[in-house]
Amino acid sequence: MQRVNSGCRYALAALALCCASGAHSSEQQHSSDAVMLQGFHWHSHQTNWYNSMQANALSIKQLGVSHVWFPPASDAAAPQGYLPRQLNNLNSAYGSAAQLQAATAALAQQGVKSVADIVVNHRVGSTNWADFTNPTWGPWAVTRDDEWGQGSGNWDSGDGYHAARDLDHSNATVQADIINWINNVLKPAGFSGIRFDYSKGYSAYYAGLYARATEADFCVGEVWTDLNYDNVDAHRQQLVDFVNGTAGDCGVFDFTTKGLLNQALNANQYWRLSNNYQPAGGIGWWPQKMVTFVDNHDTGPSEMCGNGQSYWPVACNKVMEGYAYILSHPGIPSVYWAHVYDWNLYQPIQALIALRRELNIRSDASVAVQVADASRYAAIVDDKLAVKIGPGDWQPGAGWTLALSGDGYALWKKSTSEQADWQRTVVFVYGVTAAGQDMFIRGGIDHNYAAANLGLSCTASNYQCALPIRHNNLRNPTTAPWKQNEQYLDWYGSESGQSSAALGTAADWTTNMWPASWGTKRTVALDGYGEEPLNQYGEHYWMLDVEMDCSRSANGWFELKTFISNGPGWEADISQPGAPYASGNHFAQCGKLNVFRRGEAQPVTISNF
């Protein structure tokens, strides 16, 4: 399955999920509020790590995370755990099997789930290249194209890994033993989720198979490939392909967003984070399936800047900018133990997580990028959180309160006074039409006025100059389909999910009386058009009847202009006397009954109901 376009990301998600054969429901199946802590760094094995995790269980809960990703739990040839040897032996450099279980139990007591690091792309023998024990396997478990040269399994279904033997996941015994290890060794140790290491090393089909067979409640794969900054879409397509390959049962680390953050923060290329006013990383296509991060045990340092792996790090002095981004944006964020506990960033990261939870920013949150250039990136998330990162200046304007700030970042939330104020608002506009013609209305607040007087930077994607509406009349069979999925009275035409035939907000033809000669009486109350008690003015007064969020108006005022399809087209500019500012449009008042005649400047009336 290929992605069609960015606007179809939710349709793509639904299609992938409908194809999943598993009966379980993971965190990534739907909108999620999960936040994960990577519970280790590259040097964690140098102490009795499980004891440290157990001791910090309450602190981890108070940080605000829902999941903790553990280091590989099985016996391994390297202390970090990524050269697994005896899968069923949970004594490792991080501690004993009993200490592991005590750590997961302490977290569970605090309501935090544990995620196992599953290293199954490859394996090492107990004493040589391939004398696998516990479980015992022979050369038949090794792919025939492995560097060892003695594997007799099938061809590798992914990329090779030279430091250990590549496993043949098409082999039924390999599959059964891996599933047994997860179900009967790792799950009793306290794990309910899975992180697949080196997921590009074998077909995503097998990750999905293992996730379903073990009923993992959280599943994420590591697909770390080279990022060509001149072809970002190809990189995020690889992420989507992995998710689709698991039949939608696993998410994936958003390495595209990671790479774009690197360039934004390290090279002042904040413009890379925006693609047509949407996030340019994996979260711009399929946010529910993306696990975002600033750095991890491979990409970043460990206890301090400059040590550890540091293969692809964010600049050490820009780390909090990175967290301001991922903890305010869609996807499932993952924060890094070293940053939280070794770099003394616990409190600012905790504050960001708390703000995310206060405003209920979830994995499928909407994003409207406001600006992205060489010095700053700013966005409005779910129309209730504003974020700016970078040295450049930016403010969200009136109606916002600064919630958090630090070196290079700031976040605002909607002021209490700016909570929605829904009021019934009715507009009548007189316009004579012929058969096959319909009236549409566009409106909101003038962009230039909003920029100069309200501190708003209005675009067709952020809808800051639009008025949120809820239609009261969906009874007209002609206009109701055009009103479906419409959320705003705006200047821009059809919205996402709205019929492309909607040339604005559809109005309904009304009259003050229905003569008997016209046949069966039609009324707005029953039919959605026709006779209407609020129409005291005559025939051909087209009606818009909505609940409108008056908190988004300009001191109670908003503008509008009409369009008649299949004929007259747009209404000419007018200059309304007594208007609150200069404009070529009609001015109406939110929460009132507004009556105009098309092409005439003087309102018929603006009155209370």
Crossing angle (nearest 10°) for helices 255-267 and 319-326: 140
3-class SS string, 43-81: CHHHCCHHHHHHHCHHHHHHHCCCEEECCCCCCECCCCC
Separation between Cα atoms, residue 479 and residue 21, nearest integer Å: 40
Give the DSSP letter of residue 315: P
Q: Which amino acid is at 138?
A: G
Best CA proximity match to 369, nearest among 467, 222, 271, 469: 271
Phi, psi of 554 (to 5 degrees): -95, 90
Catalytic residue of the set 27, 75, 156, 222:
222
Within the chain, what is the greatest distance between any pair of CA atoms?
99
Q: Where are the beta strands (DSSP E) in 250-391?
A: 251-253, 274-275, 278-279, 290-293, 332-336, 367-372, 377-381, 385-389
Q: Where are the alpha helices (DSSP H) in 228-337?
A: 232-245, 255-267, 319-326, 337
Retrieve residue 209's tokens: 């198979």
Q: Which residues contact 419 (CB under 8 A, 6 or more apart)?
A: 551
Q: Which residue has the tokens 């969200």?
A: 396
Q: Judge whether 233 counts as a catalytic residue.
A: no
User: Beta-carbon neighbour count of residue 431 at 10 Å?
Assistant: 20
Judged by DSSP in three states, 592 sits in: coil
Q: Computed over its alpha carbons, how large is the radius of gyration of the chain?
A: 29
Separation between Cα atoms, residue 380 and residue 397, nearest integer Å: 11
Catalytic residue of the set 27, 197, 438, 490:
197
Retrieve residue 238's tokens: 């690889």
Q: Using CA atoms in the order 589, 591, 597, 602, what is the torsion angle rounded to 10 degrees?
A: -30
Judged by DSSP in three states, 371 sits in: strand
Q: Where are the beta strands (DSSP E) in 28-166?
A: 36-38, 67-69, 113-118, 122-123, 165-166
Crossing angle (nearest 10°) for helices 232-245 and 204-214: 40
Q: Judge whether 358 counts as a catalytic residue.
A: no
Separation between Cα atoms, residue 326 and residue 60, nearest integer Å: 19
Peptide bond into 135 cis (omega under 30): yes
- Which residues are known catalytic residues? 197, 222
